[in-house]
Amino acid sequence: MHANTHWVGGITYVRNHHGWSYLATRLDLGTREIIGYALLQTPDARLARKALIEALKAQLTDTTRLMFHSDQGIQYNANLFKETLLLHGITQRMSRRGNCLDNAVQKRFFRSLKSEYLNALLFINHQAVVSAVDDYIRYYNNKRVNSAIGNIAPALKK
């Protein structure tokens, strides 16, 4: 699979002392790199859209051949998100209802993020979560090897 042909996305949550932080990511299936992400204190369509916009800014490419896959969450069914995909000519595809394996690569990233880093930490506020996630994503993209792409870091696959 080539870079910038298939992106997957998902949303997870991280507890902090004042409540929850919600993380939306965009992962390129060709490189396994996190190409865009957003953290907000609400898990709504703005979160999903913000992560998509960040990915689009980072990947200056023709998006008319791009397919975006996610679960069937309300964030991805919202008009705000669907209109953003349409504006950029991106095809949307969603997992089958109740089948988490359809988005397994995205779920695996969240598992790695939490088990390798976040679960060992306590966060005083949302900004502390943002800082920790930024650190892990830089590590994940630039240093953490991925067996699915030949035991190299995702940023090296380009």
Q: By percentage, how much of the chain surpasses pLDDT 90?
A: 78
Query: What is the average pLDDT score of the chain?
Result: 92
Q: Is the pLDDT of residue 145 over 90?
A: yes
Q: What is the pLDDT of residue 100?
A: 58
* Distant-in-sequence, close-in-space partners of 55: CB < 8 Å, separation ≥ 6: 7, 26, 35, 36
Q: Give the pLDDT score at 137.
A: 98
- pLDDT 10s digits, 34-90: 999 999 999 999 999 999 999 999 876 778 889 999 988 899 999 999 999 999 999
Instruction: Quote the pTM value.
Output: 0.93
The partner residues of 136 in beta bridges, in order of sequence, read: none
Give the CATH class of 6-157: alpha beta
What length is written for the chain? 158
- Locate the domains of the chain by residue range: 6-157
| pLDDT band (50, 70, 90) for residue 103 | confident
